[in-house]
Structure 1
Amino acid sequence: MSSTSRTSSPRRVAAAATIGTALESYDFYVYSYFAAFFAGPFFFSALGAAGAQLAAFATIGIAFVVRPIGAVIFGHLGDRLGRRRTLILTVTLMGVATGLVGLLPTGTEWAAMSAVVLVLLRVVQGLSLGGEWGGAILLATEHADARRRPFFASLPQLGSPIGSVAAGGFMLALFFGLGPEAVSAWGWRIPFLVAIPLIAVSLYLRASVDETPVFKALEQRGERQRVPALAAIASQPAAFVVAILTALLGIGSYSLMNTYTMDYGAESLGFDPMQLLLAATIGGLLQFVTVPAFGWLATRIGSPTVVAIGAIGTLLIAFPMYWLLSSATFGFLVTMMLVGGVLPTASWAALGGTMSELFRGRHAYSALSMAYAIAAVISGFIPLVTDALGDATANAWWHPGIVLAVLSVATLVGSLAARSMRKLGDEEADAAQAAPAREPATV
């Protein structure tokens, strides 16, 4: 068996895409939990309690704001130089930036400088994330045959729950093992510093796989776009709008549940922060089963249909869930995290399959990355917007439900539109995979 056939195995490629995305998600979720509990008091205390919390949430949003820039930069590299090389670069940048957050000084005399450096590191993280997701989806799907493509597209989506569980579990272990005082003093740095050696794992996996057949075919035929981002927008503008709408629930529900609801539950509803972390971690563990299950379902009924099912289900439970949360026990809190996580997960699991079908391979990296990044920009400010809505409504129980319902409706509209569009991405992937099949086999 040739080394090429080994490295091009769809399972091996999907593992490389998934684990790399999981490491990036871990880095991002570590900061999300850090922002919910520590970033405000450590770096923005001069703004007062409310201002510090808003500033902490804003640092989450900053990384989302620059994601479109990262999408253009790394999308260009992915469509010009290759999916594999670009993904190696994105995960390196993310790991280094995350590790440096763990080295920031926190004393009052350092607060202003550390706040500036923190924002700069968040910018680097956002640029990296802008180029990660689209490349991971393409790496997984452009090696797979048409029948299994929706399933393999769902596997990189496991990166988010893996990262969430790893980050939440790490924080729980630190709180229980070291105690809250030690975590506040120095223990919070450990999850950030761990990101540096984890880079080596992802680099090894991504360096061990081959470039995708689609990119190699485009390269051989000389069909790479000079400016793929502009070519994608000019040739497929409607697909961009549909892709952005389709992505809102899958991305936005994570921002709402894992960041805003954590702070809202602790500050307004009186839950123990450790209970919230534990509930979120349990919900994330369930996704290890539900994400591939919904990916398998997408191979049977189509990715856009699975996205629509998730959007309808989430819309139905949005308001009842938050009404019950206002008087919930810990057992119900866990149940809410499970139910409230499963339904948006359907839209999340089938998102990669839906979006990869919309765009042509010659500019697919740029198109997927930009559409996803724009949706992420909107979603990144969901904690801030929901917090402002809570202030305006005196924290009425229904204010997070409004946000979740709006996300659900937007994604439902996008998924229904996606069902009627041609599978351009699938067509080019099929053609690229058929070409090697006609060549003489190598031993």
Structure 2
Amino acid sequence: MTIAAAPPRASSARVAAAATVGTALESYDFYTYSYFAAFFAGPFFFSALGATGALLASFATIGIAFVVRPIGAVLFGHLGDRIGRRRTLIMTVTLMGVATGLVGLLPTGAEWAALGAVALVLLRIVQGLSLGGEWGGAVLLATEHADARRRPFFASLPQLGSPIGSVAAGGLMLAMFFGLGPAAMAEWGWRIPFLLAIPLIAVSLYLRWSVDETPVFQALAARGERERNPVWAAIRTQPAAFGVAILVALLGIGSYSLMNTYTMGYGVAQLGYDEMQLLTAATIGGLLQFVTVPGFGWLATRIGSARVVAIGALGTLLIAFPIYWLLGSATFAVLVVLMVVGGILPTASWAALGGTMQELFRGRHAYSALSVAYALAAVVSGFIPFLTDALGVVSGGAWWHPGVVLAALSALTLAGALGAQRMRRLGDEDADAALAAAREPVPAPA
């Protein structure tokens, strides 16, 4: 006599929440620290360097997190493939939240400046390491619990963390500036957004403790098939997939650096737009992601994740030059339309990125492969504002220079998506086998 295996303890909604919460906290941390670096970090900790040096040093602390991110991807990717997705994600979200909260406790004042600067850099390193292991594990936690039909949709949900975190951080900062005033913000108000990370840790830990380890990792552990060196195994056994994964990620990550970082400064300095106009247009585009990201995730369940990435890349390639040509003489209404359209099409590639990459890699080294490929694409994307500005100098500020960068990102991601469509879905094969084994009947107790 046999009975059916017990169903998983965690519901699909709880798994999705546990996967998304870390990426949301990651985005919240990034934007909160970006605002802090722009307004307060220089005067508080680097004033001895002079006004210009203090500003450059504060912005350099933003870059530190990107530089160490690949190291975190290797470290936590290894742990995720060795000790499990769930346990590793508990570590990454804890480190991220504690480091963010501690920034809000740093001492200020001239007598504490040197100590505060050193502590700030160390905390940024910890944040960068934890970020390197967050995204890949979140995608796997969401997809390895789901059946094949819903897997692309659940892979899109961690991508919602970006708009959630950016809207939360930006809205909180705006409300506090208006409510407290600049003087109170400089004195003590700036600490509140960082300290809020502490209760957010509690929510994140509760959600991640409440879900089971993924069936894929449980099956690997039961069969003794965990890789001793998963990062090297991924590169050695699937080098083509590794390269394709980096290409697939470029547009989704890089377009954000181009549109929301470089284009903002370019629009104000060269095109004469008001900062609030550009911020308003970008905010509207960010709010639309709450609809477009799950919408493209749903579309991926119908036509496939790689195809959605390809559609987004091809659409962005077609509008790359027209959007910047129109931007030079647009009214505010047209500006909003351009920013929205220019945001929606790359969002298709962003939303289906996780599903496409998850399909490429064997479960035994998937955490490492996803984390490292994503981190390398993020490092490349971090230089996009600098490269675009250099191209602008070389071209004499020609209207088309940002379009060249956007078109290049689109073409590379389109090539990656077409390559991904032609590869076997090894990740899906492992996940399907693990889920089937988990549903097999087991002998009833005597």
**How far apart are the structure 1 equivalents of 2:240 and 2:96?**
31
**How far apart are the structure 2 equivalents of 1:403 and 1:39?**
31
Match of 2:294 in 1: 292
**How far apart are the structure 2 equivalents of 1:48 and 1:401?**
36
Q: Is the 8 A contact 1:280 1:337 kept in 2?
A: yes
Identity within the alignment, %: 79
Match of 1:23 in 2: 25
Larger radius of gyration: 2
Match of 1:133 in 2: 135
**How far apart are the structure 2 equivalents of 1:122 and 1:276?**
29
- From 399, 402, 410, the counterpart of 2:401: 399
CA deviation after TM superposition for structure 1 residue 281, in Å: 2.5
The CA RMSD over aligned residues, in Å, is 2.7
Report the CA distance shift for 1:167/1:434 in structure 2 as closer, same or farther (over 3 A).
Answer: same
- From 323, 327, 333, the counterpart of 2:325: 323
In the alignment, structure 1 residue 77 sits paired with structure 2 residue 79: yes
CA deviation after TM superposition for structure 1 residue 256, in Å: 2.3
TM value normalised by structure 2: 0.90
Match of 1:60 in 2: 62
**How far apart are the structure 2 equivalents of 1:191 and 1:317?**
37
Q: Is the 8 A contact 2:5 2:441 kept in 1?
A: no
Q: Is the 8 A contact 1:32 1:259 kept in 2?
A: no
**How far apart are the structure 2 equivalents of 1:137 and 1:228?**
17
In the alignment, structure 1 residue 5 sits paired with structure 2 residue 4: no
**How far apart are the structure 2 equivalents of 1:395 and 1:43?**
35
**How far apart are the structure 2 equivalents of 1:441 and 1:35?**
60
Match of 1:249 in 2: 251
Match of 2:437 in 1: 435
**How far apart are the structure 1 equivalents of 2:324 and 2:139?**
33
**How far apart are the structure 2 equivalents of 1:137 and 1:15?**
12
Report the CA distance shift for 1:4/1:201 in structure 2 as closer, same or farther (over 3 A).
Answer: farther
**How far apart are the structure 2 equivalents of 1:7 and 1:381?**
43
**How far apart are the structure 1 equivalents of 2:308 and 2:149?**
16
In the alignment, structure 1 residue 149 sits paired with structure 2 residue 158: no
| Superposition map of 1:344-355 within 5 A | 344-355=346-357
Q: Is the 8 A contact 1:252 1:379 kept in 2?
A: yes
2:97 maps to a residue whose letter is: G
In the alignment, structure 1 residue 426 sits paired with structure 2 residue 438: no
Report the CA distance shift for 1:340/1:149 in structure 2 as closer, same or farther (over 3 A).
Answer: same
**How far apart are the structure 2 equivalents of 1:53 and 1:317?**
35
**How far apart are the structure 2 equivalents of 1:416 and 1:50?**
46
Report the CA distance shift for 1:267/1:218 in structure 2 as closer, same or farther (over 3 A).
Answer: same
How many residues align? The count is 442
TM-superposition CA deviations, 1:387-424 (whole Å, max 9, x none) = 44445556544333332222111111111111100000
- From 3, 12, 32, the counterpart of 2:34: 32
Q: Is the 8 A contact 2:5 2:439 kept in 1?
A: no
CA deviation after TM superposition for structure 1 residue 223, in Å: 0.6
Match of 1:187 in 2: 189
Flag structure 2 segments of 5+ consecutive residues without an equivalent. none
Q: Is the 8 A contact 2:23 2:161 kept in 1?
A: yes
Report the CA distance shift for 1:241/1:144 in structure 2 as closer, same or farther (over 3 A).
Answer: same
Flag structure 1 segments of 5+ consecutive residues without an equivalent. none
TM-superposition CA deviations, 1:95-127 (whole Å, max 9, x none) = 112222233455566555444433322211111
In the alignment, structure 1 residue 170 sits paired with structure 2 residue 172: yes
CA deviation after TM superposition for structure 1 residue 3, in Å: 12
Using the TM superposition, name which of 30-39 and 90-99 deviates more.
Answer: 30-39
Using the TM superposition, name which of 286-295 and 62-71 deviates more.
Answer: 62-71
Report the CA distance shift for 1:53/1:312 in structure 2 as closer, same or farther (over 3 A).
Answer: farther
CA deviation after TM superposition for structure 1 residue 186, in Å: 4.1
2:346 maps to a residue whose letter is: P
Using the TM superposition, name which of 244-253 and 384-393 deviates more.
Answer: 384-393
User: Aligned to 1:89, what secondary structure does the other structure show?
Assistant: helix
